[in-house]
Amino acid sequence: MIDFAFTAKGEKMKFKGVALIFVMLWLVACSGGPDEIVARYNGDGQKFSPTVLKGSVEYLLYIEPEKLMVVPVDYQLNALDSFEVTEHHINLCYYNFSVASRDYDVPFVKIVAFFPTSNDKLMEFSQYVRLSSYNESLRLVFHGALVASRIETLVRKENYSIEEAEDKAYEELGTLLNINMASYRANNFSNYKDSYSREIERWNVLAPYVICRHEISDSVFYSDYLEFRDEFAKKGTIDSSMIVRAADAWLATFELSSGDKEKYLFEGVTRDTSEGLRNLDTLFFQNAYGLKCLWSKDSTVKIEKKSSAFYGRSLVSDMLYNPSNSYLYHKWRIQTPLEDSIGACVHGKTKIAERQGVYYVCRNSAHQWEMESNIDTLMMFKYGTCSERYGMEGQSAYIKDTSFVCYCDDEDKCEWKVVEALSLGDSAYAKNLDLLATERFGKCKEVLHFGGAVKQLNSLYVQCSNYKWVKIDSLAFHMGVCPGGKFGKIGMMPEGNYYKCGYEGWVSITIPEAKGELCDWKSDSTYKKYDDRYFYCADGKWSEVSEDEVIKPVLEGYVCDENRASEIKKYGDEYFTCRVGTSDIQSSNHWSASTIQERELYRYKENYSNLCIVDRVGLFVLWSDSAQSMYGCVYDENKTYEWARIVASSKDSVKQQIIDSVGQKPFSKGRFIDNNTYEVEVDGVLYGFKEFLWNRKKKSGWDDYIIMNVSYTKMVEKKED
């Protein structure tokens, strides 16, 4: 498109040919001479310059710019100059500005608005304004700031004219935000605050503010604007995550309220509603989350967008009452988390719901569930009014694990009365329970006695038996009625506990019993582990013990068997010995606390093992006062040397009597004269021991010791001094 300019001298020239006039005008306009420009025309023949600029800044109400800058541009939108607007005033809540007449090279000008923020920084918004024959009603709006960089991209990189670029950029913005930009650019809808019928017009105005989360803070709003502007400049669209983020921010401010604000039940209570955008814009949320909303009352739609913070939550179609004209308006709102669990409470609905033992009621136009504990109120919501007139006399009811009946006296005064007796054999209770179960599950048609279907009725359990629903306990519900053909059977409850069916019904048993592990002499003092639970066998009975009660070797997984017989484990000040049952020792293989003699043996092995390796010639047999026992280096049946507890003995009864009379300690003062002979002098007699035998056929951990038998004795002559 070509624009034309008249000079002052040119106005006095007269040409007969129109074509020649425009050629000459074009030559004058482009001559670059000193002549003063008195008129410029655009391609449509409209004079656009010189011109006065007047207009208003129409961002959100009560947001006043700190300053305005006008930037004349060329056809590539490059800045030619800039100056600050000095004439401005506030009128009708808008910031109005005025610029005296001056010349502009092209029919477009950039105006930059600077807004203050709470942290004393400035937000800068640029907009391209098209000039025409009348430029005294210009409007600076947020939409224009969003498309400014896109217009520059189209002009500079894709060879669009400025007019074409502006039209395309606004068209792309309208498509992205699902708003009518043609209508928006021609009209101002900002003042329609309370009109339900003009919600779409308000959305046209406020859509970009919602996307840029203006209500959170100045910094968030400006940051989102810059992100939107820069992304939109590239391809005329933005990443969908920005829209999802904005939708999440809007829903995060939503909260149902009641009372005087009934009219505004659908607005976000923490959101800036200065522009009156109170109800969810259905199309916005459909586009943001990919929803398919049905405009039928009570319908719900779940948010399936996984990137949303509200993934899995639901929107519900509700009715909004406007008291000013008594109209009901169909609107969408986010369900509360409680509604997601027990269903929506919408206008015109009266109902009751229960969750985790707590009851809630929905009252007609309250729009929200209210916690309720009053029995009379709950009964009315669930069953209706107890009245003979309504045919309720004798009606059974059940709520909060309590059975009721509608009772009317001789004066026709009716009320819900609790069925006091709750025993299984009580006929009144049984009748009410059967009625309630029938209402819930249908009539019992089983003839089998305790062989029919089982059901859970609130916190109770019932079974279909002999054409009636009867109460059973949780054990019968999960494992069947006992005995009832289950005598001797073992069952398991959901929590993992086992029971055995006997004459007295289901009796609790331990896991080892359920697995067939007997607790007898073969398993006495042993532990069994199942998952993280321990059981201990003692006195013919398994019992569960805590981990703190389990001895350390068992906790660490050491198995006591023949390979570890007599082995001692030390943990701090505690000692444990592996004891192995044998044919003559009727007991199990198990760990138990070490005796004092065993603890001393452990000490000798730990401290003096280097003295008992290849032989024992010259070694002493040592005495322990604490253990009242002898310890020495012995030749093991495995043909190795090791420390052991030693007991002096004799096969000769006379010598054994001597040993018994003097005790064991005196026999610890000798030494080994060779690897097979130990000699010691006791009361003038030299005792020689050659036979060393274990007190058992093999070591078992049951009071193990070496028997040292006397082989010879000699009188020791006293040397004279």
Return the higher-pLDDT residue of 15 and 53.
Answer: 53
pLDDT of residue 605: 87
Average predicted confidence (pLDDT) for the chain:
81
Mean pLDDT of the region 9-30: 38
Q: Compare 446 and 287 and report the one with higher pLDDT.
A: 287
Q: Token pair for residue 610?
A: 């280097």
- For residues 87 and 71, is the Cβ–Cβ distance under 8 A? no
Instruction: Look at residue 431 and tell me whether its pLDDT is greater than 60.
Output: yes
More confident of the two residues 706 and 115: 115
Q: How confident is the model at residue 699 (pLDDT cuts 50, 70, 90)?
A: low
Residue 197 has pLDDT above 60, yes or no: no
Using alpha carbons, select from 232, 261, 34, 46 the residue that is nearest to residue 143: 232
Map tokens 């398991």 to a residue: 492
Structure tokens that stand for 46 in this block: 């409209």
For 19-33, what is the mean pLDDT? 41
pLDDT band at 96 (very low <50, low <70, confident <90, very high): very high
- Tens digit of each residue's pLDDT (9 = 90 or more) over 237-275: 999 999 999 999 888 877 665 554 444 455 655 555 555
Mean pLDDT of 163-177: 94
Q: Report in angstroms the alpha-carbon separations of 382 from 369, 432, 460.
A: 15, 16, 19
User: Which pLDDT value is given to residue 199?
Assistant: 60
Q: CA dihedral defined by 113, 118, 119, 120, rounded to 10 degrees?
A: 50
More confident residue, 349 or 67: 67
Tens of pLDDT, residues 618-632: 788 889 998 899 998
Residue type, 490: I
- Confidence at residue 642, expressed as pLDDT on a 0 to 100 scale: 83
Stretch among 136-140, 253-257, 403-407 having the lowest mean pLDDT = 253-257
- What Rg value do the Cα atoms of the chain yield, rounded? 50
Q: Give the model's confidence band at 57: pLDDT under 50 very low, under 70 low, under 90 confident, else very high.
A: very high
Q: What is the mean pLDDT of residues 496-514?
A: 88
Confidence check: pLDDT of 114 > 70: yes
Residues 645, 199: Cα–Cα separation, whole Å:
99
In which band, very low, low, confident or very high, does the pLDDT at 444 lie, cut at 50, 70 and 90?
confident
Q: What is the pTM of this model?
A: 0.54
Percent over 70 (pLDDT), the chain: 79
Residues 6+ apart with CB under 8 A from 440: 455, 457
User: Which among 228-232, 448-452, 462-466 has the top mean pLDDT?
Assistant: 228-232
Q: How many CB atoms lie within 10 A of CB 674?
A: 12
Retrieve residue 713's tokens.
């004795």
Cα end-to-end span (Å), the chain: 147
Q: How do residues 288-347 score in pLDDT, each as one tens digit?
A: 898 886 666 678 889 999 999 999 998 888 877 666 666 676 777 888 889 989 998 888
Contact 11, 38 (CB under 8 A): yes
* 368-380 per-position pLDDT tens digit: 899 998 888 888 8
Query: Where exactly are the structural domains of the chain?
Result: 1-41, 52-186, 239-373, 510-594, 597-715
pLDDT score of 163:
94
> Is it the case that residue 185 has pLDDT exceeding 70?
no
Q: Is residue 405 a contact partner of residue 398, using CB atoms and an 8 Å limit? A: no
Residue 27 in this model has a pLDDT that exceeds 50 = no
Phi, then psi, of 306 in degrees rounded to 5: -65, -25
Q: Which pLDDT value is given to residue 350?
A: 85
Q: What is the mean pLDDT of residues 656-675?
A: 88
Residue that wins the pLDDT comparison between 148 and 593: 148
Confidence of residue 19 (pLDDT cuts 50, 70, 90): very low
Which pLDDT band, with edges at 50, 70 and 90, does 64 fall under? Answer: confident
| Residue 25 pLDDT grade (very low, low, confident, very high; cuts 50, 70, 90) | very low
Query: What is the reported pLDDT for 591?
Result: 87
Residue 602 pLDDT > 50, yes or no?
Answer: yes
322-326, 555-559, 646-650: the lowest-pLDDT one: 322-326
Residue 597's closest CA among 574, 621, 626, 620? Answer: 626
Residue 170 has pLDDT above 70, yes or no: yes
Residue 33: which residues within 8 A CB-CB, separation 6 or more?
Answer: 7
Percentage of the chain surpassing pLDDT 90? 25
Contacts of 436 (CB under 8 A, 6+ apart): 396, 397, 398, 403, 457
Mean pLDDT comparison of 456-465, 579-588, 612-621, 651-660, highest-scoring range: 651-660
Would you say the C-alpha torsion 535, 539, 541, 543 has a positive or negative sign?
A: negative
Q: Write the burial class of residue 720 (CB in 10 Å: 0-12 exposed, 13-18 middle, 19+ buried).
A: exposed
Which class for 376: exposed (0-12), middle (13-18), buried (19 or more C-beta within 10 A)?
exposed
pLDDT at 32 over 70: no
Residues in CB range of 672: below 8 A, 6 or more apart: 616, 617, 618, 619, 633, 678
Q: Are 316 and 362 in contact (CB under 8 A)?
A: no
Average pLDDT over residues 665-690: 88
Highest-pLDDT range among 144-153, 569-578, 688-697, 703-712? 144-153
| Residue of 504 and 637 predicted with greater confidence | 504
Residue 98 has pLDDT above 90, yes or no: yes
Q: Which tokens belong to 165?
A: 């670029």
| 79 vs 714, higher pLDDT | 79
